[in-house]
């Protein structure tokens, strides 16, 4: 058992089938880190499984009992799951697989596989006891898949900024995403009006000259504009503005490389398959939608940053994604996706679900979230504009509020 101030950690590694439908295809390892308050180590506490966002995100590595984890360990043993393909679980690698084999491998990293892994963990680590879950962003998508496939394993579900549209296609999602990102751009330029001219100068220079990032990738206008993916976080505007204060400096180039390089998370760039779920091919929906939103034109004034939209150019321009380019095209054309959500089972759901819906969320549309809340049984929502998408990380008030809702205190 590892110790940090106020906390004790125990790592649990389980071997699970790579393909739960075809166990003969081999196995992978999945790691989850147990976190318990130092003064409650020997107590019989309920479990709280944390489901990180992304897809492909890695859960926090806490150093002390603060933030939402500090709040949660007052009442629970927290289990921080490194979802398959991430963290200390068997990592995702293109290896020497053919594009078709790689595409098939990537499909085994959907929410249904994560749920099946979690059920094995529940049996082996929690002794089969029903547990609570906390799903942040994409973790809420996994929660809906969990409630669809194995609700018997769940006691209470908390969701922060992550109620998905149960029937929304990728086209539906991006039709709503572009206007929200445009609104965030407008807020950014209101906060920092001088940055509009800086952004245009940088874009013009990138279009005219070959500017290289430290890893050798060319910094293109498209990649520069992807910095807008930060705009939905509480710190996003300030972080981008700080970068723009040192345009094209070594510091700027290093930070842009790190922020847009997908070095630790190629699954995040493949996120359109989150919206496929038995609805036919996504066919690069964000890219197809771009011409429908002229405010994002390359010659628009001011030049707008893009947000959490993934484009084919990324798999040509970004070194960490190039090995996945052909597989990404195969996934974009696939029309045989599994149904991740069961509308019938969700409508009859009896597991309490407490969900924070962020009214101004750039990444997960609040309207779609509320439609889902109305369609799923036993869901209570807290709609708030006090927090951005990272509210659960920014303040322990979010988890506190949801737990108080579950306890009937709100």
Whether residue 302 is preceded by a cis peptide bond, meaning omega within 30 degrees of 0, is yes
What is the signed CA dihedral for 251, 257, 263, 268, rounded to 10 degrees? 120
Measured between alpha carbons, how far is residue 285 from residues 22, 129, 378 in Å? 31, 41, 32
Active-site hit among 44, 96, 210, 336: 336
Q: How far apart are CA 330 and CA 333, in angstroms?
A: 5
Q: How far apart are CA 241 and CA 230, in angstroms?
A: 11
Burial 190-228 (b: 16+ CB within 10 A, else e): eebeebeeebeebbeebeeeebebeeebebbebbbbbbb
What the block records as the tokens of 137 is 């962003």
- Decide the pairing of beta strands 27-37 and 47-51: unpaired
Where does residue 371 rank: exposed (0-12), middle (13-18), buried (19+ CB within 10 A)?
A: middle
Active-site hit among 89, 113, 137, 148: 137
Cβ distance 30 to 121 under 8 Å? yes
Helix axes 170-191, 236-244, angle to 10 degrees: 60
The dihedrals phi and psi of 30, each to the nearest 5 degrees, come to -125, 130
Which one-letter DSSP state was computed for residue 45?
P
Q: How far apart are CA 255 and CA 259, in angstroms?
A: 6
Q: How many residues does the chain have?
A: 410
- Does the annotation count 389 as an active-site position? yes
Active-site hit among 76, 389, 390, 401: 389
- Does the annotation count 137 as an active-site position? yes
What are the strands, taking DSSP E only, across 234-291? Answer: none
User: Side by side, which strands form the sheet with 7-17?
Assistant: 2-4, 7-17, 27-37, 77-81, 47-51, 131-136, 154-160, 353-358, 379-384
Q: How far is C-alpha 342 from the geometric centre of its chain's CA atoms?
A: 21
**Residues taking part in catalysis:** 137, 336, 389
């Amino acid at each position: 058992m590892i110790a940090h101030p106020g906390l004790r950690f125990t790592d649990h590694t389980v071997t699970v089938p790579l393909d739960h439908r075809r166990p003969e295809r081999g196995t992978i390892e999945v790691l989850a880190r147990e976190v318990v308050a130092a003064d409650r180590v020997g107590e019989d506490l309920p479990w709280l499984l944390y489901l990180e966002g992304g897809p492909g995100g890695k859960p926090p590595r806490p150093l002390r009992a603060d933030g939402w984890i500090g709040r949660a360990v007052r009442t629970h043993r927290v289990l921080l799951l490194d979802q398959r393909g991430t963290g200390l679980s068997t990592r995702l690698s293109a290896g020497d697989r053919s594009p078709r084999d790689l595409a098939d491998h990537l499909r085994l990293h959907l929410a249904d596989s994560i749920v099946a892994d979690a059920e094995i963990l529940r049996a082996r680590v929690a002794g089969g006891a029903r547990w609570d879950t906390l799903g942040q962003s994409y973790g809420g998508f996994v929660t809906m898949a969990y409630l669809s496939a194995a609700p018997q394993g769940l006691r209470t579900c908390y969701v922060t900024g992550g109620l998905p549209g149960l029937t929304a296609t990728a086209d539906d999602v991006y039709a709503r995403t572009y206007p929200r990102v445009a609104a965030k751009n407008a807020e950014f330029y209101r906060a920092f009006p001088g940055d509009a001219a800086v952004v245009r100068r940088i874009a013009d220079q990138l279009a005219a000259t070959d500017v290289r990032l430290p890893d050798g990738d060319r910094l293109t206008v498209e990649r520069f504009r992807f910095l807008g993916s930060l705009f939905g976080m509480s710190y996003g505007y300030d972080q981008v503005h700080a970068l723009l204060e040192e345009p094209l400096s070594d510091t700027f180039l290093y930070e842009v490389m790190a922020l847009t390089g997908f070095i630790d998370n190629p699954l995040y760039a493949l996120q359109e398959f989150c919206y496929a779920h038995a609805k036919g091919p996504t066919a690069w929906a964000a890219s197809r939608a771009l011409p429908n939103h002229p405010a994002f034109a390359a010659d628009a004034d001011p030049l707008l940053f893009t947000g959490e939209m993934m484009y084919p150019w990324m798999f040509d321009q970004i070194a960490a994604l190039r090995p996945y380019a052909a597989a990404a095209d195969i996934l974009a054309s696939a029309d045989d996706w599994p149904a991740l959500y069961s509308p019938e089972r969700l409508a009859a759901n009896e597991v309490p679900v407490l969900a924070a819906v962020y009214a101004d969320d750039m990444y997960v549309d609040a309207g779609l979230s509320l439609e889902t809340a109305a369609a799923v049984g036993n869901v209570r929502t807290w709609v708030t504009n006090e927090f951005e998408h990272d509210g659960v990380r920014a303040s322990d008030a979010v988890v506190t509020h949801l737990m108080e809702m579950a306890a009937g205190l709100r």
